[in-house]
Structure 1
């Protein structure tokens, strides 16, 4: 149940009962969704059978008039074994359609007016999901980095919000049936080692960059010695002409560039007026007065900072030709970037002409729809599809940059603002994510960098120097447990990952093969000294053993970012220099641990 702002209610569950026999199980409960304005009471029953059948039925009664954007079932199909595969669609009118789950990400709804979906889960075995009680449609959630296709109740073509009238009960059900003979379950023991093989050169590792929000520029200068250790190759320096943010920071941007040797890409959000050239010329004059020489300029009209649903009318604004032409005239010596300062979703819905810009860009946010650890880590699965899709409509020749991306949400194009999170919880669409300061973020960054590098992206930016998206601690307006108790400079585990990966910028990227993809992420490069540098991250909360044949019989060293080293990780900026020799091809990684191995 979602309110008129797409906020999701957390139900209060009562009368939970579970019954189980050798042949079936059932679960019943009552759930209440309510706030000061509305109350909905749901009676639910879940049944499962030994034949693989599953049903989930709900009868819901509004105790008041209930204003809602969506109330009902959501059905998710995963990507693995599904993307690009055949699907049979039964429509509400009884019509049957044979199609495929899209491989390139669909900006619209792949299927509408759905009653049932069937797909082959293994040769000769089909899973059929039937949805009752309303009309369902599907959206491609990879647009938002979710690792799923999402089938939801009530088409978005109907008006929303809508009202469930008091006393008028609604009933819905989802039923799963398996047809065909299931093979014996395969051994998927979590204790089994994951073998990682290093292959041949497959490309170049992208240049590592940092975002510099206006509010963090001065803080970054205060920690410039630590920033030098990060060694970013480019800085995304933000200027927002909607509220005149960034002009006062231009001098700080220049100092940061001079201190690090990084190129500057100005990320400019225009005010949205009809004459972009006038304000860009004014900005260019201020940039020149600050003695700042941007290597690149990316331009984003204010109208593009809010999401527009497919089929809706786009706001009145200058054309692509007018916008990019104004940028070329105001900043003639800089590369010109276009796309979206927000997420792939918006880029997929509004695609810039490749012949008007030098590079295309967007960011990602891993917690638009779900903020639990597993869902956030699974968003890595969507990156190859986002890259494939962007290349399909922008072409292979144009430069491709992603970022700055991080666990927190820097911009919410789907609502009025980002979500508050004063309690350091896992919250969707919030700027503050406590995992930014932990090992989870370090592992997520390694996995993200590996996916983007193998996808052939030219440059990537992660987070910011300091603040809610930072790699370096500073005291802030939000509580940061442990770090706020320290009386010394401190860094987060991601600091070491960024610093190490930045050293890989431009190096030969090596192909990777896994015996069990999904539990570990890894990337490897060969540096100028012919040393193989391998990064491996545990993407789970369980210990996993990595088996790496390339280490056997070779001289090798290791750095481990793990929980029992957390105090040293936070207090030792040069942690990567404390390498230890290793022998043997099997290495254990604890929960969300990261290792760097150098093979000489």
Structure 2
């Protein structure tokens, strides 16, 4: 997989969309995006996305048909356009008996509809008046959906859904730039089985009446705003199979998760100390007896912060009061006076939904960032940049005045937060097989891409706001690292080295209107330093105060 994923445009009358594999992206009327995407989605029992291949396409002036297959299903996704109406019909069949958590059409609404009035038609015909949420909604903003109607940039948009009962979630929780309308309702049991020969047919009918107003000016003038100071930079501990290359520390700390149910957790702790940097330690599957042994292992170790997650039960990825109290007791027993932090081991989602479980005496709050949770498309990764500032500000509000620590930031999930099967652990007490993410499908080929350096600078700029104390990125080395397993640096290592050198300095941050170009201006003892990153596919010229800066496509630059 390369960074660039060129799509294919399809136009029919007033409608246009872009084909990105099996996704119908940026569905637009007269150039105005009405829907971010419509896609047929198949999820496995652990909510993993099953890739559906497009076996062939049939393209006509008013119709488009994708013949899709994979994961035990085959069929078609057809698009028909007529005037101000567009219809998407999915018609698929199970070849064999399959087990799934979801099979059906998912509709993504652009984040620009936040705050817009929304009429929800329920299955019984009743209409409920509400709004797309402005702040990131912890729970579903709409249930029992048979139809939706809203206004967007002068267009009166309506949509009907057939073939199942739908509901909506705020995908900004996962850094996605969308609200998602999907079926099957989450209150129904999952996984469920589809017998061989079962047919699933769903229809999304869209109508957009009127004429869209003029879009906002697209001039690339970037307005900088004070954003506090550059957060401290950390790197995740390497989880790849050993042996480890010689350490080359970057940043001010190493973030390490230690699964106390794993026989290799002590070896993982020993490896994490090799850089000589202080550790952010997070104990996972931490019971009270295990925490006493874990606290004993921290004696003599340079520890910056420590936290714990129970690892089982409905709140297993959130640091509940009982687990935090057990950690504090274990630390006291060993005479260790360390900052104790809590929060969510996984996405902002869990922090947003369950922050009420956190005890009041925490010394910090944290959560992880995983932009490729719902989709592995590069567009998903780039679009997350516009959502990260919302998440950062909302996390600071939820933290109630204590520092917020973001991390680890990884492309794919470092833990499967919604798996219905236990987390895998190595069978041996050493690291010959690696641990944690090394045992999952967590490696992404874009880890070594030059563009990831630009994305990392942009993501730190997007996350930087008063109250964000630190951000931990990726791993020290290995397939998910900033260096290869042999120690050769990937392009992202240079970018992180620059960011780490600016930590703690006052900073101003701004972005282009489309959130593809980000600029940080940092005040250092030696003068002002400007960092600019461009995630667009073409070079961009931006104006920052009185300066004009040309940032290369998928690249970054430093001005001192």
- Per the alignment, do residues 542 and 28 of structure 1 end up closer, same or farther by CA in structure 2, a change over 3 Å counting? same
**Matching residue of 2:557:** 595
Name the CA shift for 1:64/1:550 in 2 (closer, same or farther; >3 Å).
same
Aligned residue among 208, 218, 222 for 2:233: 208
Pairing partner for 1:528 from 525, 530, 533: 525
SS of corresponding position for 1:412: coil
Aligned in 2, Cα 1:47/1:457: closer, same or farther, shift over 3 Å? Answer: same
| Among 522, 534, 539, the residue aligned to 1:538 | 534
The CA deviation string for residues 79-114 of structure 1, in whole angstroms up to 9 with x for no partner, is 1x2223322211112121221222333332221000
Corresponding residue number in structure 1 for 2:441: 430
Tell me the CA shift for residue 384 of structure 1: 2.2
SS of the residue corresponding to residue 460 of structure 1 reads strand
Q: SS state of the match for residue 303, structure 1?
A: coil
CA–CA separation in structure 2 for the residues paired with 1:7 and 1:13: 19
Unmatched 5+ stretches in structure 2: 1-41, 425-439
Q: Does 1:377 align with 2:367?
A: no
Q: 2:81 is matched with which residue?
A: 48
State the shift of 1:549 in Å.
4.3
Whole-Å Cα distance in 2 between the matches of residues 296 and 216 of structure 1? 26
Pairs aligned (count)? 500
Quickly say closer, same or farther: Cα 1:358–1:163, change in 2 above 3 A: same
Answer yes or no: is the 8 Å Cα contact 2:254–2:279 preserved in 1: yes
Counterpart CA distance in 1 for 2:92 and 2:80 is 18
Give the 3 Å change call, closer, same or farther, for CA 540–306 of structure 1 in structure 2: farther
Native 8 Å contact 1:337 1:359 kept in 2: yes
Instruction: Point out the structure with max Rg over C-alpha.
Output: 1
Q: Would you say 1:410 and 2:451 are equivalent positions?
A: no
CA contact (8 A) 2:347 2:369 kept: yes
Structure 1 residues 449 and 305: CA distance shift in structure 2, 3 A: farther
- Pair 1:461-2:472 in alignment: yes
What does the per-residue CA deviation read over 1:326-362, in whole Å, with 9 as the maximum and x for residues that have no partner? 3552464110011122222233333243512110111
Q: Larger deviation: 175-184 or 517-526?
A: 175-184
Determine the C-alpha separation between the residues in 2 that align with 1:214 and 1:64: 37
Map 1:18-167 → 2, pairs under 5 A: 18-20=59-61, 25-35=62-72, 40-51=73-84, 53-79=85-111, 81-123=112-154, 125-167=155-197
Deviation at 1:71? 1.7
Partner SS, residue 373 of structure 2: coil
Is the Cα contact below 8 Å between 2:523 and 2:529 reproduced in 1? yes
CA 1:83–1:293 in structure 2 vs 1: closer, same or farther (change >3 Å)?
same
Q: Is 1:452 aligned to residue 453 of structure 2?
A: no
Alignment of 1:170-181 (within 5 A): 170-181=200-211
Q: Give the equivalent residue in structure 2 for 1:499.
A: 497
Residues 92 and 443 of structure 1: is their aligned pair in 2 closer, same or farther, counting only changes over 3 Å?
same
Q: Distance in 2 between matches of 1:102 and 1:166?
A: 40
Match of 1:367 in 2: 372
User: What residue ranges of structure 1 are gaps of 5+ in the alignment?
Assistant: 309-313, 419-428, 476-488, 552-584
| Comparing 462-471 and 239-248, the one that deviates more | 239-248
1:223 aligns with 2:246: yes
RMSD across aligned C-alpha pairs, in angstroms? 3.0
Change (3 A) 1:159 1:499: same
**TM-score, scaled relative to structure 2:** 0.81
Give the CA deviation at 1:10.
3.9
Residue 341 (str. 1) matches residue 367 (str. 2):
no
Per-residue deviation at 1:550? 4.1
- Please tell me whether residue 236 in structure 1 is matched to residue 242 in structure 2: no
Is it true that 1:357 corresponds to 2:362 in the alignment? yes
Distance 1:381 1:298 in 2: 29
Structure 1 residues 158 and 175: alpha-carbon distance in aligned structure 2, compared to 1, 3 A threshold: same
2:309 is aligned to 300
* Alpha-carbon shift at residue 511 of structure 1 (Å): 4.1
Cα displacement string for residues 141-175 of structure 1 (whole angstroms, at most 9, x for unaligned residues): 22222221111112111222334445554432101
Among candidates 58, 62, 76, match of residue 17 of structure 1: 58
2:334 pairs with 1:319: no
C-alpha change, 1:85 and 1:324, in structure 2 (3 Å) is farther
Asked whether the 8 Å contact 1:198–1:510 carries over to 2, the reply is yes
Q: 1:84 and 1:270, CA in 2 relative to 1: closer, same or farther beyond 3 A?
A: same
Residues of 1 paired with 2:459 and 2:56: CA distance?
A: 42
The separation in 2 between residues aligned to 1:305 and 1:162, in whole angstroms, is: 20
2-structure distance, mates of 1:389, 1:149: 17
- 1:401 paired with 2:427, answer no
Looking at structure 1, the residues matched to 242 and 303 of structure 2 have their Cα atoms a distance apart, in angstroms, of 16
Q: Distance in 2 between matches of 1:109 and 1:341?
A: 21
In the alignment, which of 252, 263, 278 is matched to residue 278 of structure 2? Answer: 263
**How do residues 248-287 of structure 1 correspond to structure 2 at under 5 angstroms?**
248=267, 250=269, 253-257=272-276, 262-271=277-286, 273=287, 276=288, 278-287=289-298
CA distance in 1, matches of 2:99, 2:241: 40
Per mean C-alpha deviation after superposition, the further-off stretch among 532-541 and 348-357 is 348-357
- Take 1:298 and 1:280, find their aligned partners in 2: how far apart are those partners? 11
Q: Deviations over 1:206-231 (max 9, x none)?
A: 11112224658972xx433x32xx2x
CA apart distance, 1:468: 2.2
CA shift for structure 1 position 446: 0.9
Equivalent of residue 329 in structure 1, options 329, 332, 337: 332
Which residue of structure 1 aligns with residue 221 of structure 2?
195
Secondary structure, in 3 states, of the residue corresponding to 1:532? strand
| Higher normalized helix content (fraction of residues) | 1
